[in-house]
Amino acid sequence: MFDEPDVIDAACVYVAQTYRVPIERLQAELRYEEAFGIRGTVELAGERRMFDLSEQDLIDGAAMYLASYHAFDPHQLSVELLFNEEEGITAVAQL
């Protein structure tokens, strides 16, 4: 189970690996929009560059995070994002 800070970290991993930018310069925010689902925005500090992430991008980011930091095979993972008023945005990953 990923809590919201873990999903934020996963969003940063996605942007760092996809766009080849330094992860330590990234800041992310997550949001739930009724019409669009779970979304993320990642900003590259110092350059005012923004990356708008879809729910699928965040799911891919969670798989990349697990592959990079915990040696999981991202192709064998199933990741589901969840929104709850109390817990915020979380994710569940299964093999």
pLDDT tens figures, 69-81: 888 998 899 999 9
pLDDT value for 46 = 86
Instruction: Report d(CA 14, CA 36) in Å as an integer.
Output: 19
Beta carbons of 10 and 2 less than 8 angstroms apart: yes
Closest C-alpha to 7, from 29, 35, 37, 34: 29
Residue 47 reports pLDDT greater than 90: no
Number of domains the chain is built from: 1
User: What confidence score (pLDDT) does residue 95 get?
Assistant: 86
Q: Is the pTM of this model over 0.85?
A: yes
Domain that holds residue 68: 4-94
**Distance separating alpha carbons of residues 38 and 95, to the nearest angstrom:** 22
pLDDT, averaged across the chain: 94
The H-assigned helical ranges of the chain are 4-19, 55-70
